[in-house]
Structure 1
């Protein structure tokens, strides 16, 4: 693919004069039909890597995406451009809407789908009749980290790619260690020597890194309120508990003038949409969120990310703090830690497998995965694919060991006595940086929020009621 042509499309269709680091190299490899894994930092413009080729290629661009919120954001952006027909296939669709989409699947240029929807044989049968110019695995680290013990349909992508025979294959992620990169390639059934790997530093130098250790939960709660009142800007606070996100959002509203709302998967789709739009429009100051909020959220003036609970891995932590400072201006990531906080992620990652009697009961009542306990759907997947309970136990034990190793690395970050930024870069197999003017609390122990001089944002205008209604109708599939 000629470099000049890519530059012409970039300028004519996207209004940019230059590619960001890693974009052009990735596009050239993909357009030349080389399987490509791009590891580019959050905010580096990964969506352009499958949007730009649509102006140069015929056929369908199929994007496998992990979250409905991420798909919806990408679909909305493409529809706003108005150049291509775009569709989304996932569990949010009604039966009628799903059937209508499938009956017209050949008319779309972009199809965003989940690995679970793509695993459906009927869907694959329809796609096999089409010319798929590009198969995109977005957030490709999910293949390695989520596939084995959380969403095993990711492991079926290998078979799907072989069956559909797409002309081009692109894998995108912001956070993958060298080991995870190797695992992605292996789990997708690719020969490593044939895969082009494009890597750029995961570093986001405009984000100041800090950890604050508190004696107990009450002091942590008080420190959170003090930080929010001092920051006075737009940000996100991450929790591992939906209940605590709700409770502390209400508590902060009662003890401050801040406009705060919680956001998690326990809310309805309509509620989450409204909260997200209020936040994007500046009508909310802070979101108290679980990991359900994040992928696809592109709010340029988000100035801070605070973690109230300890993340289970540096990968998830780095992914989440990458939502701050996407406009390139100074931002801050603060992790609040109490001794013993690691017990929660340890508990969440420990599998609860069914007994042999439960498996026998499940075999008598197929499709009732609840019989198999908290991990029922995942266990049922493996049982249906011929695995024994002992084989599943061995797999889960291996995943638990990997999870515990990642958690130890996360704790190493918390307790680091050397530069936190270089600790993270070393974890991702990347070179250390030169000392920055505004790096982390280890390098600059006398830091304060005032010294960081974070930009203050102007409040956004209220969104008209009619506009809200139209956006909501579009999201719910009710537009005329």
Structure 2
């Protein structure tokens, strides 16, 4: 018997305390619970976690959530536990062998199993999940299948075989950003027939975010401008860098030059430190995070007033994902991209995969040379060599994806150079149409300043929860 809209509303009110669903949630839940493979593209802040938490009250078997980041898994596990929606557990590299075995022996006791793709593809894990039986498989941040799989974390490319082995009765793919081409790629890489998949696609538009690009002459000027912007904007924000070292350096500089609490966040920090920083930011004990792209996925914080990109993102997909972390409370917020001549060189270099000569590939494949002979990207190259790609075919295999990365970077360049409305270009990239808004972007409002954006008041922190920040903030108000 198909679940009804009235039943879903009752579950929403009873277990989550909401009077109504957000756009896209109800049709997604209806499709998933009726057994339709579903791809839901809902903007940041649209409540995607509810789309696998609510089904727990309908589905009797465990729900498996494939998630890309340990910090994201931990955050979701904590939220489920805090709100009493059931027992949740993680399966990833943070668990020892003994801990992993204990979880596998008690799978039936969990309603939610969060797992990384690298862990999911292990034969013993798949065997245990098949033996238990799965009620729903959720692929969170599903755009990673298209954008990451070919040249970063290629285990995403093995999810097609995983789904064939698990054969779950329900499948849900979730993401905030996926233009038509990426949606088609996601489904193809998972071995799904596009016409047999229900797609729920809401607009990426976030009307409360003002988009701006600031062109600067050089690196020194860019650093000075960043410092000035952070002082002027105040409140809580995220600054994205492509360099771990520069994220560290600028966090130190901002901490010294302002009254703000600032920290850096990147994959070079150990998992415990990353979790600590994330929790401090979520609890308003930090004002500014200087981060690489490792930070932000799944961050559900409603009072971020700005996102600044110090370096050029590799694609509009990444950019819209990252700036969408601002203004989730619906209040005015701003996304600023700082741009100096030559900024495009860094993402170009990050997109390139250096492939050694075929004889070296053959010797590594035959174990006549160590994997280190493959260079810095040896893990990616070795993955393909051990999964049926012949050394002579590797360059041709990766060429289409390299061309796609170059095209995505060209779209990012177009965003920088567009004359007129930047939001219109974003809509065009994502296959949407819309009219420019009064508070839209620097193309529509060239004389903008942070003061003209009506950013919400910068509240004084709670004295008991954060005495250090309270003292610093109070000092600012009286100086």
Whether the 8 Å contact between 2:40 and 2:174 is mirrored in structure 1 is yes
Distance 1:215 1:275 in 2: 33
Change (3 A) 1:101 1:369: farther
Between 59-68 and 247-256, report the one with greater CA deviation.
Answer: 247-256
Shift of 1:148: 1.4
Whether the 8 Å contact between 1:282 and 1:459 is mirrored in structure 2 is no
Shift of 1:361: 4.3
Aligned position for 1:47: 49
Change (3 A) 1:450 1:185: same
Whether the 8 Å contact between 2:358 and 2:392 is mirrored in structure 1 is no
Aligned position for 1:342: 344
Aligned position for 2:38: 36
Between 142-151 and 168-177, report the one with greater CA deviation.
Answer: 142-151
- Please list the CA deviations of residues 125-169 of structure 1 after superposition, one character each: whole Å capped at 9, or x if unmatched: 011112211111111111111111211111111111111111100
Q: With the length of structure 1 as denominator, give the TM-score of the two structures.
A: 0.94
Change (3 A) 1:276 1:100: same
**1:74-223 maps to which residues of 2 (within 5 A)?**
74-223=76-225
- Please list the CA deviations of residues 284-320 of structure 1 after superposition, one character each: whole Å capped at 9, or x if unmatched: 1100000111101111101000000000000000000
Aligned position for 2:472: none
**1:1-400 maps to which residues of 2 (within 5 A)?**
1-363=3-365, 365=367, 369-400=371-402
**1:406-425 maps to which residues of 2 (within 5 A)?**
406-425=408-427
Change (3 A) 1:218 1:276: same
Q: With the length of structure 2 as denominator, give the TM-score of the two structures.
A: 0.94
Between 70-79 and 449-458, report the one with greater CA deviation.
Answer: 449-458
CA root-mean-square deviation: 1.6
- Please list the CA deviations of residues 183-242 of structure 1 after superposition, one character each: whole Å capped at 9, or x if unmatched: 111111111111001111000011000000001111111100000000011000000000
Runs of at least 5 residues in structure 2 that lack an aligned partner in the other structure? 467-479
Distance 1:133 1:228 in 2: 47
Shift of 1:256: 2.2
Shift of 1:255: 2.1
Aligned position for 1:469: none
Shift of 1:367: 11
Shift of 1:463: 7.5
Shift of 1:349: 0.6
Aligned position for 1:478: none
Runs of at least 5 residues in structure 1 that lack an aligned partner in the other structure? 466-480
Change (3 A) 1:57 1:367: farther
Shift of 1:273: 1.6
Distance 1:412 1:187 in 2: 28
Shift of 1:370: 3.1
Between 355-364 and 57-66, report the one with greater CA deviation.
Answer: 355-364
